[in-house]
Amino acid sequence: MGDFFPMSMTPEPVTSADELTTSSAPERAAVPASARHRRRLMALLTGLTVVVLIADQVAKAWAVSSLVPGERTPVIGDLLGLSLVYNPGAALSIATGMTWLLTVVAVVVAVVIVRASRRIGSTGWAVALGLLLGGALGNLIDRLFREPSFGRGEVVDFIAYAHVFVGNVADVAIVVAAVVIVLLSMRGIRIDGSVESAQARASETDDAHRAPEVPVAGSDSDGGDAPQSDAPGAAGDTMTDPADV
């Protein structure tokens, strides 16, 4: 009687619960591994933030106690020196009358960095965001708690670069972070650790500029000839009379 059963009725092999558990074990193990990696990156980001923040505030405290405003102490000739400056504005003394706005901007930047760090998956981005956050917080503390008033404090600058501008440790960290971010972006490395190749970006650009193909009337999608009609009485068909059979 086995010859009367079609092939489709052959019983399917049943996968045991043990096999299911074994096959899904690597997938479950990958999740904790990814979480551990992200925790390590967050620890790196947080550690760099704390180091930059402490180094910046210690250096500023030393500059305030050791340097005299207006006096320049050369370190490498005219290229690099120490000169204490209280800056109410941004870099190069821009927006000196808008200290409160710069404070708001610094708070927004810090919040954005913290939120972006939740998706961290790249060591390079962890370094960049740690340096950036540490530098932003270093200058933000000055604006919040230094004279003349809360939210309008002046940033302590003391590293004189030639006769162009004067900065601090926080500024150095921010500039380095900006360079790292540019390099990561040029290499196509996203904040979550995924990599976008140059070939993929070029392919996406070509697809966006490629015009869609318009089907020609009377032809199929492959560009072949239109199918012949099989209906009786169509041109070219020969009909047979049943009486002639």
- E-state strands within the chain: 72-76, 80-87, 155-161, 165-167
With CA atoms as reference, report the closest residue to 166 among 109, 244, 81, 55: 81
Question: What Å distances lie between residue 25 and 13, 18, 29, 71, 227, CA to CA?
Answer: 21, 11, 6, 67, 53
Question: Cβ(52)–Cβ(170) under 8 Å?
Answer: yes
Q: How far apart are CA 156 and CA 171, in angstroms?
A: 11
The two structure tokens encoding residue 192 = 């979550």
Three-state SS annotation for 91-136: HHHCCCCCHHHHHHHHHHHHHHHHHHHHHCCCHHHHHHHHHHHHHH
Could you give the residue numbers annotated as active site? 157, 171
Half-sphere exposure of 187 (CA within 13 A, CB side): 15
How far, in whole angstroms, is CA 152 from its chain's centroid?
A: 32
Q: What are phi and psi of 86, to 5 degrees?
A: -100, 110
Residues 6+ apart with CB under 8 A from 228: 234, 236
